[in-house]
Amino acid sequence: MKNYSSHIGIVGGGIAGLTVGCALRLQGINTIVFERADEVSEYGAGISISPNALRPLQKLGIKDDFVDRSFVPEKAVMHYQGKEIKRLDTEVVTSSRQKLIEVIHQRYAGLGGEILFEHECESLDESSCEITFTNNEIYKVSHILVCDGIKSSIRQNYFPASGVPAYSGYSAWRGIGLSEIKDIQFHFGPGTHIVNYPIDHEGRTSFVGVVKTNEATEDSWKIKGSKEVFLEDFKFYDEEIFSMVSSSEVIYKWGVYIRPSLNSMCSKNITLLGDAAHPMVPFLGQGGCMAIEDAYTFAILSGELDCDFNKVQPLYEKIRLHRNNRIQSASMLQGKLNHIKNPIAAFTRNLLMSHTPLLAMRTNKIWNYNVDEEISKALS
């Protein structure tokens, strides 16, 4: 057994795991990240990061590098059956998950953070804080942060009442091609919707098409799909919307899976962050943002409370549980609104979007969340 009892052990080297590693290292707290893959990588899916997550990234010294490698669109434009219904100012940064993880990993390494690859968790002892991996290595740490995603085996074993991943009723196509669009483009249709946005200044564009269907698709971002089948699923849309598809080297299809909301994100020496705690449908663009908020919150509390995790965990849960569960629920509702089939209901939705401030008000409520203010209130 390797004694890392002066280190917080982080299981998973994705957005949540690497961000919490950076935040902890900035406060002089030792960390070690255990990643099951043989390198830090992420399939080239698009991602948008809104102001509520950009603020902590700025505090961590990550935002500027991320923005430099990404795109900052000025507008988000909504369409229904080819007609524009709403145009909004936006403050998000659009990029790829791969770029975001690269930037966070580089920051973590620059802060002296340690990461071990090819370490897949097999079991753990939450009383002694010992983690056993499939390569037969055993590590003793001071606390265990679980950041290994929706399929987290640790969540499954230590939060058994929380349920297994379940198909959400949505399947999605994605790819990255070339186009000249400069804004975020939403296109709504009966039982479907499409989102396109630039991810850099070279014309690379993320496209995602979502279909409401009872036919479950596997929960994997690695399954290649057929462009012909993709176009058939969205045959009622103007072909110009898919101008970037022909230049995409490959297109993927995956099932969108969720898990039930938790009543607790903590158990003894185990704390859940990111998708391990609250996987959500992507219709508000908040999955990665919630992971960043989680990571920053836990790290700042750990620094302020001298890693007294008996104090850290209740405050972390107080700050994060309600917000995460609320965003999970709101994301599911947004999916229903995006995929309305009834023409009268769709007309009403479009009318509310175009002639009322409801959309901007709800968006601002999410984006205006200030994680530092919430931490200060919890500590006072």
Phi/psi at 218 (5° precision):
-60, 145
- What is the dihedral sign for C-alpha 9, 13, 17, 18? positive
Q: To the nearest 10°, the Cα dihedral for 105, 106, 110, 113?
A: 10
**Confidence at residue 42, expressed as pLDDT on a 0 to 100 scale:** 57
Render 166-216 in DSSP notation, one character per residue: EEEEEEEEEEEEE----SEEEEEETTEEEEEEE-STT-EEEEEEEEE-SS-
Q: pLDDT digits over 140-178, tens only? A: 999 999 999 999 999 999 987 778 889 999 999 999 999
Kindly state the helix (H) or strand (E) to which residue 48 belongs, with its residue range.
Answer: strand 46-49
**Confidence at residue 218, expressed as pLDDT on a 0 to 100 scale:** 66
| 314: pLDDT strictly greater than 90 | yes
- What is the dihedral sign for C-alpha 164, 265, 160, 129? positive
**Confidence at residue 311, expressed as pLDDT on a 0 to 100 scale:** 98
Q: For residues 183 and 221, which has the higher predicted lDDT (pLDDT)? A: 183
Measured distance CA(73)–CA(198) in Å, rounded: 8
Alpha carbon separation from 256 to 209, 220, 253, 353 (Å, rounded): 12, 9, 10, 26
Measured distance CA(296)–CA(309) in Å, rounded: 15
Average pLDDT across the chain, whole number: 94
Domains of the chain: residue spans and CATH: 2-43+102-165+260-339+361-379 (3.50.50.60)
Mutual angle of helices 287-304 and 309-338, in 10-degree steps: 170
Q: What is the mean pLDDT of residues 241-270?
A: 88
| 119: pLDDT strictly greater than 60 | yes
Measured distance CA(261)–CA(257) in Å, rounded: 13
Measured distance CA(255)–CA(220) in Å, rounded: 7
116-120, 123-127, 163-167, 255-259: least confident range? 163-167
138-146 and 130-133: which strand pairing?
antiparallel
Q: pLDDT digits over 5-54, tens only? A: 999 999 999 999 999 999 999 999 999 999 998 887 656 689 999 999 99
Q: pLDDT digits over 320-329, tens only? A: 999 999 999 9
| 219: pLDDT strictly greater than 80 | no
Both tokens of 32, joined, read: 């070690």
* Contact predicate 92/197, CB 8 Å: no
Q: Is 124 in a helix, a strand, or coil?
A: strand
| 239: pLDDT strictly greater than 90 | no
Q: What is the mean pLDDT of residues 81-107?
A: 95
Both tokens of 88, joined, read: 């909004």
**Confidence at residue 365, expressed as pLDDT on a 0 to 100 scale:** 96
| 221: pLDDT strictly greater than 60 | no
